Amino acid sequence: MNKLTLSKETKITLKLIKRDKLAMLSLLIITFFIIVSIFAPFIVPYPSQGEGLPVPEKRFLPPSFENPFGTDYLGRDVLSRVIFGARISLFVGIFVVCVAIIIGVPLGLIAGYFGGKVDDVLMRITDVFLSFPSLLFAIALVATLGPGLFNAMISLSITWWPWYARLARAQAVTIKEQPYILASQVIGVKGLTIVFRHLLPNALTPIIVQGTMDMSSAILAEAGLSFIGLGAQAPSPEWGLMVSTGRIYLLNYWWFPVFPGLAIFLVALAFNLFGDSLRDVLDPKSRKAGGQM
**Residues binding another protein (CB under 8 A):** 22, 124, 127-128, 131-133, 135-137, 139-141, 143-145, 147, 216, 220, 223-224, 227-230, 240, 243-244, 247, 250-251, 254, 257-258, 261-262, 264-265, 268-269, 271-273, 276, 286, 289-290, 292-293
State the nearest-atom distance from the C-beta of 276 to another protein, in Å.
6
Residue 195 or 264 having the CB closest to another protein: 264
Question: Least Å distance between CB 200 and another protein?
Answer: 27
Alpha-carbon gap, residue 93 to 133, rounded angstroms = 19
What is the DSSP-derived secondary structure letter of residue 29? H
Range list of β-strands (E), the chain: none
Minimum Å gap between C-beta 88 and another protein is: 15
Query: Between residues 186 and 293, which has the closer beta carbon with respect to another protein?
Result: 293
Of residues 51 and 283, the one with the C-beta less far from another protein: 283
DSSP readout, 103-158? HHHHHHHHHHHH-HHHHHHHHHHHHHHHTS-HHHHHHHHHHHH-SSHHHHHHHHHH
CB of 138 to another protein, least distance (A): 10
| Residue 244 beta carbon to another protein: minimum distance, rounded to whole angstroms | 8
CB atoms within 10 A of CB 7: 11
Alpha carbons 207 and 107: distance in angstroms, whole number: 14
Could you tell me if 209 and 280 are in contact, meaning their C-beta atoms sit under 8 angstroms apart? no
Choice between 211 and 257, CB closer to another protein = 257
